Amino acid sequence: MTKNYKCWPDGWPKTLNYPEMPVYGFLDQTAARVPDRIAVIFGGMELTYGELRELSNRFAAALQSLGVSKGDRVAVYLPNAPQFAVAYYGLLKAGGVFTPVSPLLSAEEVKKQLCDSGAETLVVLDLLYPNVMDILSSTPVTRVITTSIADCYSAVISALKPLGKFELPGTLDMAALLKEHEPLAEPVAIDAAKDLAHIAYTGGTTGVSKGVMLTHRSVVASVLQFACWMGGTSVEFADDILRFRYPGDIDPAKDRLLVLDKETALVVVPWFHSMGTIAYLNGNVVSGITMVLYPRFDAREYVGGVEKYRATVLGGAPQLFVPIVNLPNFHSYDLSGVRVVGSGSAPLPVVILEEMLNAISGVVCEAYGLSECTLAATMNPPFRSGIKVGSVGLPLFDTECKVVDVSTGEDLPAGMEGEICIRGPQVMLGYWQKPEESEGVLENGWLHTGDIGREDEDGYFFITDRKKDMIIYKGYNVYPREVEEILHRHPAVCQCAVVGKPDPKGGEVPVAFVELKEGQTADAAEVMDFVNKQMAYYKKVREVIFLEQIPMSGIGKILKKDLRKMLEEMA
């Protein structure tokens, strides 16, 4: 197959020179370049890039003194907070392997992940520690480092932010460790091609969560693909300095949407998720972006933060934007200063894309990727003329995508739907301690994603649905996303999801789960009529179930396995 460059952005390089550097180099490079630039804002607390580097060096020294050595897994069980960034870069500098743990997991799920990864060190928020305290003796964990949100606030402001700090006997206090240890003089040497940086667990939205093995080289490649795509730059690494290069006489302040060391991003995407770690931590850090952190999502607070902090960058899963657009006073907010909105992890409903484009001055870049390829494989170009509505964009630098027949595995031509396969430097080594499952998805360097889609004549890719989510009714393929797009256009619908329900006559029939907008009403017959008159007979929704809230993962991906389980229980 040959990559289609027909619509490749003018002036964008077709390949990048990826430096053989460790992931922690991103922080060190930016801290050397702009040490006094604000890196993190959290509830009024500010950290500069220079301070973030020093704290991570102190944490690295602390971990080494505790016995953490190269290749040891360190589990980070934290929400978005400054301590997360300190722990992340610190453990990498100590030679550790980052294994994030979602705060939304049950104690039993945390136990399985800790046992699977073999993590001996756990960094955990004091408020979360009681959730897992009783299961730790059944895991490899031998040392627990706790931290508190209260550590981010001074005594003066405690009257306004009355957060207490819990005393947790038998654990080590992160703040004390940072104070007791001088910065690590020399980070552990890393072989970028061989040494693991992450064991990032999949969301488990369609089955058992698996540990995705990512080397430093894969993470560095993915971060630079993202950063250079957004800036239209090449990259060079000489004399231990990382530089972004613009073509010809390009003036980034005039000719690009984002300028190095000048932007501010609102970050609510969880850093424990691959999209958060790669794009909204490392991607922001390498570009010198000021990050305003939110540990949880509140639509009004978040959209209000755009004006408060003069934010220029937003990003997340589509379910982040749905409640924002559906705010009763959405159009009263001034979002005109926003130049880039990134969307990924699930299909962005067209109606939501249109509303966001009308509200901002810049672009909404929909992308596609999965944990198994670190972050992204495709992305729409960062200018309006390059956006194809409904598409997830073009394959990124040095990335090939193809569509194969689901049954035979044969390559399919443009326009035909099949399984999406990806090849590139960002593709994982495999699943941690699961060689058979790794072989099942990796074939001759190609990652078989399990996602159904197509490529058009211009080289843009479109994701139809998950292979496992596809509904087969009397031999006909029904793609839930197509039905969901219509549901989203109903004036009373806020969130929705369509799944297949077993049917003795048809095999499966489409069932819609609907969450209504605040203050809106609708009945099942009305919603079904709205959808079905726009669908072929075999795609028609047979049942509508109203929920107060559609179940979602921490990243904002709808949990269709929970909805299927709900149907089973109802049956």
Mean of per-residue pLDDT scores for the chain: 92
pTM of the model: 0.86
Cα 14 from Cα 16, distance rounded (Å): 7
Q: Which residue has the tokens 């006559």?
A: 505
Amino acid at 177: L
pLDDT of residue 206: 46
pLDDT of residue 475: 67
On the question of pLDDT at 36 being above 90, the answer is yes
Encode pLDDT of 134-158 as tens digits.
999 999 999 999 999 989 887 677 6
pLDDT of residue 104: 84
pLDDT of residue 460: 98
8 Å CB contact between 369 and 347? no
| CATH architecture for residues 49-189 | 3-Layer(aba) Sandwich (3.40)
On the question of pLDDT at 280 being above 80, the answer is yes
Residues 187-214: what's their mean pLDDT? 86
On the question of pLDDT at 205 being above 50, the answer is no
- pLDDT-based confidence at 198, cuts 50/70/90? very high
On the question of pLDDT at 245 being above 60, the answer is yes
Encode pLDDT of 80-106 as tens digits.
999 999 999 999 999 999 999 999 888
Cα 102 from Cα 280, distance rounded (Å): 16
Residues 440-447: what's their mean pLDDT? 94
Cα 143 from Cα 317, distance rounded (Å): 34
On the question of pLDDT at 258 being above 50, the answer is yes
On the question of pLDDT at 159 being above 70, the answer is no
Residues 536-559: what's their mean pLDDT? 87
Residues 213-227: what's their mean pLDDT? 98
Coil, helix or strand at residue 386: helix
Amino acid at 214: L
Reference 64, options 193, 212, 181; nearest CA is: 181
Residues 435-451: what's their mean pLDDT? 93
On the question of pLDDT at 481 being above 80, the answer is yes
Compute the radius of gyration of the chain from its Cα atoms.
23
- pLDDT-based confidence at 303, cuts 50/70/90? very high
Least trusted range by pLDDT, from 92-106, 254-268, 400-414, 553-567: 553-567
Residues 276-298: what's their mean pLDDT? 96
pLDDT of residue 203: 65
Return the structure tokens found at 281.
Answer: 């931590």
Reference 476, options 535, 528, 550, 546; nearest CA is: 535
Cα 53 from Cα 59, distance rounded (Å): 10
Least trusted range by pLDDT, from 152-166, 392-406, 520-534: 152-166
By DSSP bridging, strand 73-77 and strand 121-125 are parallel
Cα 417 from Cα 63, distance rounded (Å): 49
pLDDT of residue 401: 97
User: Residue 280 CA to chain centroid, in angstroms?
Assistant: 8
CATH number of 476-570: 3.30.300.30
Domain segments of the chain as ranges: 49-189, 476-570
8 Å CB contact between 58 and 90? yes
Cβ neighbours around 4 below 10 Å, total = 17
**DSSP result, 267-330:** E-S-TTSHHHHIIIIIHHHHTT-EEEE-SS--HHHHHHHHHHHT--EEEE-HHHHHHHHTSTTG
8 Å CB contact between 542 and 510? yes
Question: Angle at the Cα of 432 (from 426 to 436), degrees rounded to 5?
Answer: 100
Coil, helix or strand at residue 543: strand
pLDDT of residue 315: 94
Angstrom CA distances, 446 to 126, 331, 409, 427, 430, stand at 42, 44, 12, 8, 12
Cα 246 from Cα 231, distance rounded (Å): 8
Residues 399-410: what's their mean pLDDT? 94
